[in-house]
Amino acid sequence: MKIKEIIEKLQLKVLIGQENLDVEVTGGYTSDLLSDVIANSKEGNLWITLQTHQNIIAVAKLKDLAGIIIVNNREPDENTLGKAKEESVPILCSEGMAFEISGKLYELISSQD
């Protein structure tokens, strides 16, 4: 399933990365601990987190993640958005909690199998 389909179905707001929404999402990973994401996320995952600092971009790029969903209606600062644009990492935002978005993303992706 492509990011743009997930955005529509989960009613996510695109903060940056509109040009990269045709990327195929292979799964999701939910964590706020960067070392956990580095150790356990997989290429093509959408990362669900409440973190908003610049280091999330470096982790997403390192792991070749499809993008980042920031939950709880939090938004990153301009420096983080600038880094995301520079690295071509889509940043999405949701009013929902991580538990809710994780469950919905799981249902969407598993229904594709």
Residue keyed to tokens 């990153």: 76
pLDDT in tens, 4-62: 999 999 999 999 999 999 999 999 999 999 999 999 999 999 999 999 999 999 999 99
Is pTM beyond 0.85 here?
A: yes
What does the alpha-carbon distance between residue 20 and residue 93 come to, in Å, rounded to a whole number? 15
Residues in the chain: 113
Quote the pLDDT of residue 112.
80
What does the alpha-carbon distance between residue 59 and residue 55 come to, in Å, rounded to a whole number? 6
What does the alpha-carbon distance between residue 46 and residue 38 come to, in Å, rounded to a whole number? 13
Torsion angles phi and psi, residue 19, rounded to 5: -80, -5
Domain ranges for the chain: 3-110
Q: Mapping DSSP to helix (H, G, I), strand (E, B) and coil, where does residue 60 land? A: helix
Q: Which fold has domain 3-110?
A: 3.40.1390
What does the alpha-carbon distance between residue 61 and residue 95 come to, in Å, rounded to a whole number? 24
What does the alpha-carbon distance between residue 51 and residue 75 come to, in Å, rounded to a whole number? 9
pLDDT in tens, 55-84: 999 999 999 999 999 999 999 999 999 999
